[in-house]
């Protein structure tokens, strides 16, 4: 077998009048090519989004030449492999149409031997404007579910095309309807067989794991072909008697004393290399051995939903993942790595790949395998009813089978989910039976496709839903997963999080602006005001900015200036999400997952993310690092009582103390102290004590609560510290503090920032103008007499002097009075 790689520089043309062809990268997208050629401005800056809307209106043609020699042509079979064409396209070899493609999530493999010639050849991929395709395919439907659109104007009916659904804009997303060719693009030949997929099945028993490896091989004709399987230091050769067409060839391995794979925080992530070779074609993977179950069953509280790995019920701590950029050409392993490392650094062990984006590439899942991040994998359908015509269903079926086959051996993948919130677009009352039927047909097609490719995992029909068979009333907290949006979208106050006991909260979020440096990147000199056109363009949720301001008026004194506004929005976001997570974590085993909306951004924007587009940590991400710590304490004020609660994800008994103080806001004096013994079983949670609130704090405008949790178990110690005000911050006279700092270098090449204060400060936050820095901790309360030492790393090389000049220290009081 040999390969001709067709990636590289292609010629890109467009039927827009006067457009002269440009060079484009393959893999790559047309927007990136246009940007490089200087034909569009950076859509991430200013009002430039308006300038890129034309791209989606035209047809694009990608072309290149390549040579093929006689030896390559002599092979029995030659096929063209295209991992992903975005989206509706006809593909030509030497001017003759060889295939068309309608689904960017479906790999295309076309036999092309008769179309090739010795010497020079041309390949062209002609991509139709999405709107043209949508209108065309729509004519083949007998039933037309309501067309859904993004924020942009040239993508009316996104649910009619198998393309990244958020490309036309989302309530956090830029509208950039682009096209492109992604993944691997090559010609391959062989003497007659093709190794299509490899799958593994694991059977765990005491001290042993039996692994069956199966190769899916496509053969041109019957015959015997040697297939080699190499795993765990052993090699098996099977002389497979193949029939023409699809074949499966298996080999069994037994791994004694397997080194098991665990989610982050629960153990190691050993990966066993596996290589399968057939007829010179090789597929390699790394396999994590683990007994993965997703449990959804009736119990005394309703119906649970939880991940059980190697017999341990894992509390899922994480966030929802969206595409990391609007331009797929920019998806590098390094960018995935940075975001996923930040997730793990914040003590996350789970991400939900949301259904409005894409099935990510191998690098993403590879890194999740390595880092121990459990993946809730949606199929790529979101917030719409999708067409149920035969041709459309066939596409979805093929897509799901391909993607599940491609990804199923990743240790990280915990569950397949049918879609994101599509059932919410079906009427609750059956006044529109056809729409219900339509949804059900699509959902059933996905279920059957998933099962055709993987029987080892639970299929969860949609997120959210109650059970595998119950789509009704998606806000049911006692069953399945829930998307709890009553605080942000519903405008409830933050303590509404205390009113529910979700079994698994797979979405709940609160918006904030991105980091000041990111805002400065897109806003320009004239836009430094929250209601400026550019700030409003970089806010995609209707009334999002009004919501942020309205919530300010409930909790805070209004910020003094533009930068205080940005800062305070992040305080508010962190406060909101921390309230929910800290409480829900202590409700386990009833609640077994908190996945907040959303981890990342696909352009610089105000959104629910905790990492902004450039990877800067918003205050929420620092809070996440603390509220997702292995052991946490919290104080929940409910019904005039204070509940002192703890939760542990440690696999051994942990014992110690949670010390609670009433602290005077004016000077930081600890005026009351309560010491609560903690003794938790492995993975335990408890309500330690409940006390009437007024017994503890007579005047909540004068004092706040501080807790310090210190426990140990299994030879390790764990600490967690937090604070809770029992009234809104705006009612309190926060003191004006003098904060002193010292910057230095640490021995291991990092930097150190030491901070002290003469009065209590809240949401103390350090950042650097124009310098990206990630701190060991940030956004917390600091009391007089304490020295806080923060280490940090910077994005680029900088000197101490530069850091000194660029340092900005903010806190709650100075946000309204500086």
Residues in contact with ligand BMA by the rule CB under 6 A: 170-172, 383, 420-421, 483, 507, 597
Q: Please confirm whether the linkage preceding 87 is cis (ω < 30° from 0).
A: yes
HEC per residue, 667-710: CCCEEEEEEEEEEECCCCEEEEEEEEHHHHCCCCCCEEEEEEEE
Would you say 29 or 507 has its CB closer to ligand BMA? 507
In contact, 657 and 676? CB cutoff 8 Å: yes
Would you say 481 or 520 has its CB closer to ligand BMA? 481
Report, in Å, the least distance between residue 494 CB and ligand BMA. 17
Report, in Å, the least distance between residue 177 CB and ligand BMA. 18
Report, in Å, the least distance between residue 158 CB and ligand BMA. 12
Distance between CA atoms of residues 350 and 370, nearest Å: 13
- Position of tokens 């008026």? 553
Residue of 307, 411, 404 whose CA lies nearest to 366 = 411
Those residues with Cβ within 8 angstroms of residue 466's Cβ, 6 or more apart along the chain or in another chain: 303, 472, 473, 474, 476, 479, 480
Would you say 369 or 421 has its CB closer to ligand BMA? 421
Would you say 401 or 605 has its CB closer to ligand BMA? 605
Report, in Å, the least distance between residue 420 CB and ligand BMA. 5
CB atoms inside a 10 Å sphere around CB 20: 8
HEC per residue, 143-207: CCCCCCCCCCCCCCCHHHCECCHHHECCCCCCECCCCEEEEEEEEEEECCEEEEEEEEEEEEECC
Distance between CA atoms of residues 187 and 197, nearest Å: 17
Would you say 350 or 635 has its CB closer to ligand BMA? 350
Would you say 511 or 648 has its CB closer to ligand BMA? 511
The residue nearest ligand BMA at its CB is 171
Tokens of 558: 């209004």
Report, in Å, the least distance between residue 542 CB and ligand BMA. 10
Report, in Å, the least distance between residue 318 CB and ligand BMA. 15
Report, in Å, the least distance between residue 381 CB and ligand BMA. 11
Would you say 167 or 647 has its CB closer to ligand BMA? 167
DSSP 112: -
Would you say 216 or 612 has its CB closer to ligand BMA? 612
Would you say 409 or 419 has its CB closer to ligand BMA? 419
Report, in Å, the least distance between residue 320 CB and ligand BMA. 7
Tokens of 50: 């308006």
Would you say 416 or 597 has its CB closer to ligand BMA? 597
Report, in Å, the least distance between residue 746 CB and ligand BMA. 39
HEC per residue, 85-96: EECCEEEEECCE
In contact, 127 and 422? CB cutoff 8 Å: no
Distance between CA atoms of residues 353 and 664, nearest Å: 44
Would you say 582 or 601 has its CB closer to ligand BMA? 601
Would you say 105 or 170 has its CB closer to ligand BMA? 170
HEC per residue, 255-321: EECCCECCCCCCCCCCCEEEEEEECCEEEEEEECECCEEEECCEECCEECCEEEECCEEECEEEEEE
Report, in Å, the least distance between residue 771 CB and ligand BMA. 31
From residue 665, how far is each of 692, 762, 778 by CA, in Å? Answer: 21, 10, 20
Report, in Å, the least distance between residue 443 CB and ligand BMA. 17
Would you say 325 or 520 has its CB closer to ligand BMA? 325
Report, in Å, the least distance between residue 608 CB and ligand BMA. 6
Tokens of 237: 């050769």
Report, in Å, the least distance between residue 171 CB and ligand BMA. 5
CB atoms inside a 10 Å sphere around CB 432: 12
Report, in Å, the least distance between residue 23 CB and ligand BMA. 35
Report, in Å, the least distance between residue 507 CB and ligand BMA. 5
What is Dmax (Cα atoms) for the chain? 90
Report, in Å, the least distance between residue 347 CB and ligand BMA. 23
Would you say 170 or 182 has its CB closer to ligand BMA? 170
Would you say 231 or 321 has its CB closer to ligand BMA? 321
Report, in Å, the least distance between residue 189 CB and ligand BMA. 44
**Cα within 13 Å of Cα(512), Cβ side:** 35
The sign of the torsion formed by the CA atoms of 490, 495, 499, 501 equals: positive
Distance between CA atoms of residues 156 and 523, nearest Å: 29
Given its phi and psi angles, is residue 333 left (phi above 0), alpha (psi -120 to 50 degrees) or beta? alpha
Instruction: Give me the long-range contacts of 623-626 (CB less than 8 A, separation at least 24).
Output: 623/574, 623/577, 623/578, 623/779, 624/319, 624/346, 624/347, 624/348, 624/577, 624/581, 624/596, 625/345, 625/346, 625/347, 625/777, 626/578, 626/720, 626/721, 626/722, 626/777, 626/780
Would you say 286 or 489 has its CB closer to ligand BMA? 489
Would you say 171 or 649 has its CB closer to ligand BMA? 171
DSSP string, 361-428: -HHHHHHHHHHT-EEEEE-S-BSSPPP--HHHHHHHHHHHHHHHHHHTT-TTEEEEES-BSGGGGS-S
- Give, for 580, the enclosing helix (H) or strand (E): helix 562-585
In contact, 722 and 582? CB cutoff 8 Å: yes
Would you say 383 or 395 has its CB closer to ligand BMA? 383
Residue of 418, 386, 424 whose CA lies nearest to 141 = 386
Report, in Å, the least distance between residue 285 CB and ligand BMA. 31
Distance between CA atoms of residues 451 and 445, nearest Å: 10
Q: How many helices (H) and strands (E) does the chain have?
A: 15, 45
């Amino acid at each position: 077998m040999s390969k001709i790689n067709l990636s590289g520089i292609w010629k890109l043309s467009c039927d827009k009048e006067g457009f002269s062809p440009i060079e484009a990268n393959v893999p790559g997208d047309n927007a990136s090519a246009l940007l490089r050629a200087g034909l569009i401005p950076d859509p991430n800056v200013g009002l430039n989004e308006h300038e890129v809307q034309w791209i989606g209106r035209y047809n694009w043609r990608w072309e290149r030449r390549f040579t093929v020699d006689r030896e390559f042509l002599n092979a029995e079979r030659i096929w063209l492999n295209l991992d992903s064409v975005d989206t509706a396209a006809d593909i030509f070899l030497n001017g003759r149409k060889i295939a068309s493609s309608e689904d960017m999530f479906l790999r295309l493999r076309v036999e092309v031997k008769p179309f090739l010639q010795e010497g020079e050849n041309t390949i062209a991929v002609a991509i139709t404007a999405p709107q043209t395709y949508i209108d065309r395919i729509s004519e083949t439907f007998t039933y037309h579910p309501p067309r859904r659109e993004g924020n942009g104007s040239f993508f009316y009916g996104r649910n009619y095309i198998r393309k990244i659904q958020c490309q036309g804009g989302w309530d956090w997303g830029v509208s950039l309807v682009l096209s492109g060719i992604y993944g691997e693009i090559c010609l391959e030949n062989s003497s007659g067989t093709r190794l299509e997929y490899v799958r593994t099945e694991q059977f765990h028993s005491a001290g042993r794991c039996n692994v069956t490896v199966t190769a899916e091989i496509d053969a041109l004709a019957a015959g015997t072909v040697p297939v080699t399987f190499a795993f765990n230091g052993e090699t098996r050769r099977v002389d497979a008697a193949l029939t023409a067409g699809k074949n499966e060839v298996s080999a069994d391995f037994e791994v004694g004393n397997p080194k098991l794979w665990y989610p982050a925080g629960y153990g190691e992530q050993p990966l066993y290399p596996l290589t399968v070779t057939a007829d010179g074609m090789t597929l390699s993977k790394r396999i994590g051995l683990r007994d993965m179950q997703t449990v959804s069953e009736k119990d005394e509280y309703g119906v649970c939903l939880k991940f059980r790995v190697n017999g341990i019920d894992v509390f899922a701590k994480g966030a929802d993942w969206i595409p990391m950029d609007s331009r797929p050409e920019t998806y590098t392993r390094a960018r995935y790595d940075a975001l996923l490392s930040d997730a793990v650094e914040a003590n996350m062990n789970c991400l939900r790949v949301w259904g409005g984006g894409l099935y990510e590439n191998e690098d993403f899942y590879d890194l999740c395998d390595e880092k121990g991040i459990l993946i809730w994998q949606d199929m790529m359908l979101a917030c719409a009813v999708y067409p149920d015509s035969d041709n459309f269903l066939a596409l979805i079926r093929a897509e799901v089978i391909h993607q599940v086959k491609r990804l199923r051996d990743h240790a990280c993948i915990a569950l397949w989910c049918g879609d994101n919130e599509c059932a919410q677009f079906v009427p609750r009352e059956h006044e529109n039976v056809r729409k219900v039927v339509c949804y059900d047909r699509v959902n059933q097609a996905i279920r059957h496709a998933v099962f055709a490719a993987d029987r080892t995992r639970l299929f969860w029909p949609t997120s959210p839903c109650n059970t595998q068979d119950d789509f009704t009333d998606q806000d049911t907290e006692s069953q399945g997963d829930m998307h709890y949006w009553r605080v942000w979208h519903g405008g409830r106050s933050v303590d509404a999080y205390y009113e529910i006991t979700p079994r698994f909260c797979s979405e709940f979020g609160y918006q904030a602006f991105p980091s000041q440096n990111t805002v400065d990147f897109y806003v320009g000199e004239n836009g430094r005001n929250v209601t400026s056109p550019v700030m409003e363009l970089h806010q995609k949720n209707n009334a999002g900015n009004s919501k942020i301001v309205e919530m300010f008026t409930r909790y805070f004194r209004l910020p003094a200036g533009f930068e205080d506004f940005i800062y305070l929005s992040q305080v508010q976001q962190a406060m909101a999400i921390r309230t929910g997570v800290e409480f829900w974590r202590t409700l386990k085993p009833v609640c077994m997952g908190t996945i907040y909306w959303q981890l990342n951004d696909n352009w610089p924007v105000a959104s629910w993310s905790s990492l902004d587009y450039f990877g800067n940590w918003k205050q929420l991400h620092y809070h996440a690092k603390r509220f997702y710590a292995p052991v946490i304490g919290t104080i929940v004020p409910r019904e005039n009582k204070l509940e002192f609660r703890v939760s542990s994800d440690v696999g051994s008994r942990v014992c110690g103390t949670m010390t609670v103080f009433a602290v005077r806001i004016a000077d930081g004096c600890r005026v009351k102290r309560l010491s609560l013994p903690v003794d938790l079983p492995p993975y335990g949670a408890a309500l330690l004590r409940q006390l009437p609130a007024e017994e503890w704090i007579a005047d909540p405008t004068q004092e706040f609560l501080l807790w310090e949790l210190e426990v140990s178990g299994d030879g390790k110690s764990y600490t967690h510290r937090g604070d809770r005000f029992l009234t809104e911050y705006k009612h309190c006279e926060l003191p004006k503090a003098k904060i002193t700092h010292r910057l230095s270098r640490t021995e291991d090449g990092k930097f150190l920032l030491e901070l002290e204060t003469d009065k209590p400060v809240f949401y103390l936050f350090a950042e650097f103008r124009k310098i990206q820095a990630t701190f060991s901790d940030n956004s917390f309360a600091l009391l007089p007499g304490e020295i806080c030492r923060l280490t940090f790393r910077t994005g680029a090389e900088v000197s101490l002097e530069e850091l000194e000049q660029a340092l900005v220290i903010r806190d709650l009081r100075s946000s309204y009075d500086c």
